[in-house]
Amino acid sequence: MNILGCLAAFIAMALAYLCSRNQRLLARPIDPAGRIGAAAFAVVALVAWIAGETSLPGIFAAATALMFGAVALPYITWLFRPATARKTR
């Protein structure tokens, strides 16, 4: 369950990042319906972590996994697509 929780949290944060107008991975952000998908995957991550642990540690583990995904994805994008390779808008 912990691997499923981590995977769902990373997908949730990836969708949230790709919906942002400040994202640098795509030419333009994906439509706002992606935010609903991000919220759904965040709930799946929460449920998976609670199922794998008890209630309170599961909540904190899900929050930590979501925060890690939110911080790591822009850095991963920067690693593969440096600022000099981007076009200015």
Question: For each of the chain's 89 residues, which pLDDT tens digit applies?
Answer: 889 999 999 999 999 999 988 887 888 889 888 999 999 999 999 999 999 988 899 999 999 999 998 999 888 888 877 666 556 55
For the beta carbon of residue 5, count every other beta carbon within 10 angstroms.
Answer: 24
Which token pair is 31? 């439509």
Residue 46: what residue type? L
Are 12 and 42 in contact by the 8 Å Cβ rule? The answer is yes
Which token pair is 55? 């209630």
32 torsion bin: left (phi>0), alpha (psi -120 to 50), beta (else): alpha
Distance, CA of 23 to CA of 27 (rounded, Å): 9
